[in-house]
Amino acid sequence: MATITIQNLPQDVLVALARSAAHSDGIIEDEARRALVRLFSDARLGPQRTWARAQLDQYRYSKMPSVKRSANEVLRGLRMERDRLIGDAFEVVELDI
């Protein structure tokens, strides 16, 4: 495993690491290690990076789906369909009062 030495670390960062380490009953070195792993771990970001690269490739090669209707038109159509389905589900009964 590799080793690093960090010099001239800002005091506020050192204090934050110390507090976090004290909270988890650990030492500053362990807390710094956990923070670096959380920040740079590829395993956590792998699926997102793969998806983003695929989207970028589609954009680069003009293979993105084309949009023929605006978002407002799509929503309007969905609402009309919903209202039609709701209307079909109920029977209108006239009451003689």
Q: Is residue 74 part of a domain?
A: yes
Rounded Cα gap, residues 55 and 51, in angstroms: 6
How do residues 17-66 score in pLDDT, each as one tens digit?
899 889 888 899 988 888 888 777 766 667 777 888 888 888 777 776 66
Please give the pLDDT value at position 64.
65
Domain hosting residue 74, numbered range: 11-89
95 found inside a domain: no
Residue at 68 is within a domain: yes
**According to the model, what pLDDT value does residue 76 have?**
93
Examine residue 42 and state whether it is found in any structural domain, yes or no: yes
The answer to the question of residue 72 being in a domain is: yes
Is residue 97 a part of any domain in this protein? no
pTM above 0.95, yes or no: no
The answer as to whether 5 is a domain residue is: no
Q: Which residue has the tokens 């109920």?
A: 90
Tally of domains in the chain: 1
Report if residue 94 sits inside a domain: no
Q: At a CB cut-off of 8 Å and minimum separation 6, what does 77 contact?
A: 69
Residue 94: pLDDT over 90? no
